[in-house]
A and B are shown apart, each in its own frame.
Chain A
């Protein structure tokens, strides 16, 4: 029998070698072992090993067993051991995490206590500071309120003061205007009086608007114009008043004179001069210059009348009829007037008021041809003179 050739032997060698190598090669790692080895590369493993040596040691043992079983091509046992190794290692890591968490919790408890204490202190300080600020703020507000109240009070006072001053000025202006009224200023100085009245009305409007300064200015003008009107009107008014009084007095004099018994009264005007003539007859007997007996009493009412109206100058004028020489009659009339003068002075009449004259037969009031006429002409006239 022939042995195979060398070339055939060389051809059969590579497949045999491959089969041998395949039989000797390590199988792929089980997934569980790969997972365990990945877990074991965790950087915290060494710390965990120090804290949990039993658990990590047990894991190592299972891991070693898994590796050996894998290397022995016993994949199922390798997987079982790797799973247990992983479980033990994970358990160790979980326990380690718990310990770390507990330590952290303890540290947090301490830290929390400090933080709470700090917070309490800050809170206390803040509360105190807030209270101080609140008080200061409150004080400030009170001060501001006080200042505002004071300002308001001052303003109110000033307003009241202005109002009072205005009222005073208004009263003064009104008084001036009333004073002007008393002298009929509207009649004698209508310009000033009208200006004063309108300024017073203007001031009243300004007072309603609360414009005190303007009102005061208006009232000052009103008073000034009213005073001026009074000043201007007063002389005219007094003159008119005097004239009126005089007229009244004259009228009274006329009434009183008319009521005298046994006399004849007649008014007479000569230019501007008014005369009230009271003619008294039968005071003298013929050609006598002394009062007839019993006639003195007839002069009593005359004397009372003259004294009642002391402001009138009085003339005593003697008159006669025309029986006799004119010169003698004038002298006779003068003497008779003098006799009446003396009698009146004796009855209390002021002599300085009296003027005596004699007209004789020059101013007859009746016909001298009849006894009655001559009786009327022979008379003494008491003449009140006025304007």
Chain B
């Protein structure tokens, strides 16, 4: 083991070193903050573009209020990001993701319900047509029997 000699620091040197450390630490922290805000911004942008797609999909306007709520929360997340409150912003963003999923499910359910309604309408139409034709068939049978009588029918 080798012992080296260290010249004792002066108070000035200690103060300079502390200041330098403080500057380096502050710069590093500032850099990390900037990266997180960029990430939040990117996520907000992605969510906003997703909202436009969802609005386009919502032809039945089944999720209008939920989409508006999503928009409000995205605005809220954007405000928090600008206030440099990334944790709160991420919390709101997490809710936005869940809300977007809810909107998708509501839209899909509405589309399926529309399909059901269409199919039911088609089925009812088919049944109605069947009933009409059954009645026409009965009428035709009556007319046939009448025509088969010796005197015939008018």
Contacts and interface: CB of A to CB of B under 8 A. Distances in A.
Contact of B130 (A84, A111, A118, A136): A118
Interface string B102-139: 10011011001101100110110011011001101100
A112 B123 contact: yes
Contacts of A108: 116, 119-120, 123
A123 B133 contact: yes
A83 interface: yes
A234 B19 CA distance: 178
Contacts of B136: 126, 130
A87 interface: yes
B19 to A, nearest CB: 39
A97 B109 CA distance: 6
B152 interface: yes
A140 B126 CA distance: 34
B115 A98 contact: no
Contact of B98 (A91, A95, A137, A143): A91
3 tightest Cβ-Cβ pairs between the two chains A and B: A101-B112, A94-B105, A136-B147
A105 B152 contact: no
A95 B143 CA distance: 54
A249 interface: no
B105 A112 contact: no
Interface string A293-335: 0000000000000000000000000000000000000000000
Contacts of A95: 105, 109
A91 B116 contact: no
B133 A115 contact: no
Given A119-B126, A125-B137, 10 more contacts: A84-B98, A88-B98, A91-B101, A94-B106, A101-B116, A108-B116, A108-B123, A126-B136, A129-B141, A136-B147
B95 interface: yes
Given A87-B95, A87-B98, A130-B140, A98 B105 contact: yes
Contacts of B47: none
Interface of B: 66, 91, 95, 98-99, 101-102, 105-106, 108-109, 112-113, 115-116, 119-120, 122-123, 126-127, 129-130, 133-134, 136-137, 140-141, 143-144, 147-148, 152-153
A122 interface: yes
Contacts of A104: 116
B130 A122 contact: yes
A108 B98 CA distance: 32
A129 B140 contact: yes
A122 B109 contact: no
A144 B129 CA distance: 35
A353 interface: no
Interface in A117-136: 118-119, 122-123, 125-126, 129-130, 132-133, 136
Contacts of B120: 108
A110 B117 CA distance: 15
A80 B73 CA distance: 12
Contacts of A116: 126
B147 A101 contact: no
A325 to B, nearest CB: 119
Contacts of B130: 115, 118-119, 122
A44 to B, nearest CB: 13
Contacts of A91: 98, 101-102, 105
A289 to B, nearest CB: 111
Nearest to B130: A119
B137 A98 contact: no
Given A98-B105, A115-B126, A122-B133, A133 B144 contact: yes
B147 A140 contact: yes
A108 B113 CA distance: 12
12 contacts: A91-B98, A91-B101, A101-B112, A118-B130, A119-B130, A129-B144, A130-B136, A130-B140, A132-B144, A140-B152, A140-B153, A143-B152
